[in-house]
Chain A
Amino acid sequence: MKISRSEKIFNICNILLMLFICVITLYPYLNQLAVSFNEGMDSMRGGITIFPRRFTVSNYAAVLKSADFLGALFISVLRVIFATFISVVVVYSCAYGLTRKGVPYKRGITLYLMIPAYINAGVIPVYILYRYLHLMNNFLVYILPGAFVFYNMIIIRSFLQELPASIEESAQIDGANDIQIMFRIIMPLSMPVIATVVLWVAVNAWNDWTTTLMYVTERELYPLQYLMMRLIKESETAQQMAVQATMNKGAAIQISKPTSESVKAATLIVTTIPIIMVYPFLQKYFIKGVMLGSVKE
């Protein structure tokens, strides 16, 4: 078919626009990547685009050697593993139970579980509650409160409801008991939806830093994201002090040596790289989660 002139112009404009979107999406990240591979003192001059000016890996060496960083990495990894495992066990068992025949009050239980998903008393009552539960400055605060997510439960439940009832019936005829039906029949079949939920929970656990902001003050329990938040805020304070120092030139203010931009960039890269590496291959699972979630009840 002949492509008309206006269509050609439209195509070119569209492709250019898409390239522009790619550039503005990737540029800030590539810029940080370049800064992280650049010498710290040299980065202060600015003007680095997407290639380092004076290549060095010393920033990464500094990051990977720091005890704070290693501790936070340990906490983050531990947290992702435990939070994901426990959350999936809790959510899956709940969804499984709510799809069994003969379980009474299914609708009532679902409604009851839905309440906290939409109504909560706010930050402070939760804060007080956690304090009484001794969750403050406790590693469990990363795992227990977020273990049950109503939305994830609904996703698994709607998947299980779609499975034909005849599968279970034929297993029963073959002599499988309830435990065998769950672990050997239904669970292998629901692996796609479990994978979806595992990924959501893991990414959220890796990315979360507000839990630490609210409930944790002990340094040993800081995860990576929180450490990075401190770095960003710290460099901002340093900038403010520099501005003030130039304002009142006479009074020379002693500025404590801030973490260099390059080390900060290296931290940011190390913190985000697991997700950047992984998400392109897993996006179909994430998209599946959105689709399942949008088809409700």
Chain B
Amino acid sequence: MAGIMSSPWVGLKHFKTIFTYPNMLQAVGRTFIYGCVIVFGGFPFPIILALLFNELRNMKFKKVVQTISYMPYFLSWISVIGLFYSFLAIEGTFNQIMAKIVGDGYEAKNILMDSRYFLPIIFISHLWKNVGWSSVLFLAAIAGIDPSLYEAATMDGCGRIRQIWSITLPCIKGTVIIVLVMSLGSLFNTNFEQVYGFQNVYTQEQTEIIGTLVYRQGIENGKYSLSTAFGLCQGVVTLFLLITSNAISKRLFDSSIW
């Protein structure tokens, strides 16, 4: 490589290639879809979990369940992928359960080798790994609610579910919105480790996202300029999303990440 001064100027050549190369455009679309599914589809679950934790009256039990639910968060993505691989393997537990449910006609198959199931697997593994830990912030918000509100509600004859709906949820609304707004920044930033780990020869072509394509084209095939241009596009969009979501959160709640 020759540095800035002595490299030939190619203008927008590589950016043009991105928009004419169908594989790359698809990867852009896919990155966005995966991001949306994980951010919007995944975000109610930790809140629900935190609400349910809060309703447990036996403190010891609550502590144990919480600790167990945090466990997958501390494992590396590759360990999680290893667990999923053996769970979904042909002779694995998943196929045994399916065989029991479906009955005799069931043919064992490995759904990791079918790209149609890729997004559900990404989504479920994301939930499995993160849902417990993500509930921590909401639990803290719930712990900050004034207990006299619940006492007053009980006096007025409110049941537990009514209390969740009319007291807990409105009180943590602020936290919920902040967390949601802040996660908008990752709409265009699907987890490389997760997607790369779950890809295999059968699914790779149909599941390529920006991160994995940049890695394959750039580091494995040595197309530095093209993949730099591609990666840069992602960086710019992510930064734009981050600034936008921060501006929203600043305007709505006066809280900012900088």
A residues with a Cβ closer than 8 A to B are 4, 6-7, 10-11, 14-15, 17-18, 21-22, 24-29, 31-32, 35, 44-47, 49, 111, 114, 118-125, 127-128, 203, 206-210, 213-214, 225, 228-229, 231-233, 235-237, 239-240, 243, 261, 264-265, 268, 271-272, 275-276, 279-280, 283, 287, 290-291, 294, 296-297
Contacts and interface: CB of A to CB of B under 8 A. Distances in A.
Contacts of B82: 32, 228, 231-232, 264, 268
**Nearest 9 pairs of A and B residues by beta carbon:** A46-B91, A122-B231, A207-B76, A28-B83, A124-B218, A124-B228, A279-B74, A18-B65, A229-B78
Interface in B78-99: 78-79, 81-87, 89-93, 96
A21 B65 contact: yes
A290 B227 contact: no
B86 A31 contact: yes
B156 to A, nearest CB: 14
B39 interface: no
B41 interface: no
A46 B83 contact: no
B197 to A, nearest CB: 7
Contact of B96 (A6, A47, A236, A290): A47
27 contacts: A10-B55, A14-B55, A17-B52, A22-B69, A25-B132, A28-B93, A31-B93, A44-B91, A47-B91, A119-B239, A123-B211, A123-B227, A123-B231, A124-B228, A203-B74, A206-B76, A209-B76, A209-B193, A213-B196, A264-B82, A268-B82, A272-B79, A279-B71, A283-B67, A294-B137, A296-B255, A296-B256
Contacts of B91: 44-47
B144 to A, nearest CB: 11
B86 A25 contact: no
B84 A128 contact: no
B56 A14 contact: yes
A235 B110 CA distance: 13
Contact of A121 (B79, B86, B232, B255): B232
Interface string B141-165: 0000000000000000001110000
Interface of B: 1, 49, 52, 55-57, 61, 64-65, 67-72, 74-79, 81-87, 89-93, 96, 110, 112-113, 128, 132, 136-137, 140, 159-161, 192-193, 196-197, 200-202, 211, 214-215, 218-219, 224, 227-228, 230-232, 234-235, 239, 242, 255-258
A278 B108 CA distance: 37
A233 B87 CA distance: 15
B87 to A, nearest CB: 5
